Amino acid sequence: MTGPSPSLSRTMGNDHARLDEAWERIRGTERAELRREWFEAYRADLVYHVEIEEREMFPRLAAAGPADALLVGRLREEHREILEVLDRIGAAIDGPIDRLGVLDVELVTLLWAHNAREETTAYPRWDELAGPDEAARIRSALDRSSSPE
């Protein structure tokens, strides 16, 4: 390994940015056949990101104290809401793009609040609690999810 490894906050924050860009590309394309293909890849990556958080990060965070447990409960609820909107988008993605309008706003609004909450509270807290070995383990799990550019 060369140089210090980035914090998990940085790694996960970068993944949020990568996913946001993927969604922008999907809603920006005029080509319906690409929209479905890109959406399925985006959905798989976002679901994987959520799974990593829920499986690898949240249990440790929730065990740290009542305030942390409360935060994790809130984040888990937001995950359910995000995945539910993704399902509705999946059902509408082959239709006219303007039909996505409300769902697009719902998704972006949910993600904006959720990602900000994670980046300013949960991730820094997790960095405080976990050691570099745990961070490296999560980083390599996340690396495997990234679709080739």
Interface with Fe ion (CB under 5 A): 53, 118
**CB of 13 vs Fe ion, minimal distance in Å:** 8
Q: Are 131 and 70 in contact (CB under 8 A)?
A: no
CA-CA distance, 76 to 114, in Å (whole number)?
Answer: 10
Residue with smaller CB distance to Fe ion, 26 or 46: 46
If you search the block for the tokens 């935060």, which residue do you land on? 71
CB of 123 to Fe ion, least distance (A): 8
Distance of CA 45 to the CA centre of its chain: 8
The structure tokens listed for 127 are 């960095």
| Residues 64 and 50 sit within 8 Å (Cβ to Cβ) | no
Closer CB to Fe ion, residue 34 or residue 63?
Answer: 63
Shortest spacing between CB 124 and Fe ion, in angstroms: 13
Alpha-carbon distance of 50 to 65, in angstroms, equals 22
The smaller minimum CB distance to Fe ion, of residues 45 and 118, is found at: 118
Q: What is the closest distance, in whole angstroms, from the C-beta atom of residue 50 to Fe ion in the complex?
A: 6
The token duo for 81 is: 């809401």
Nearer to Fe ion, 45 or 104 (CB): 45
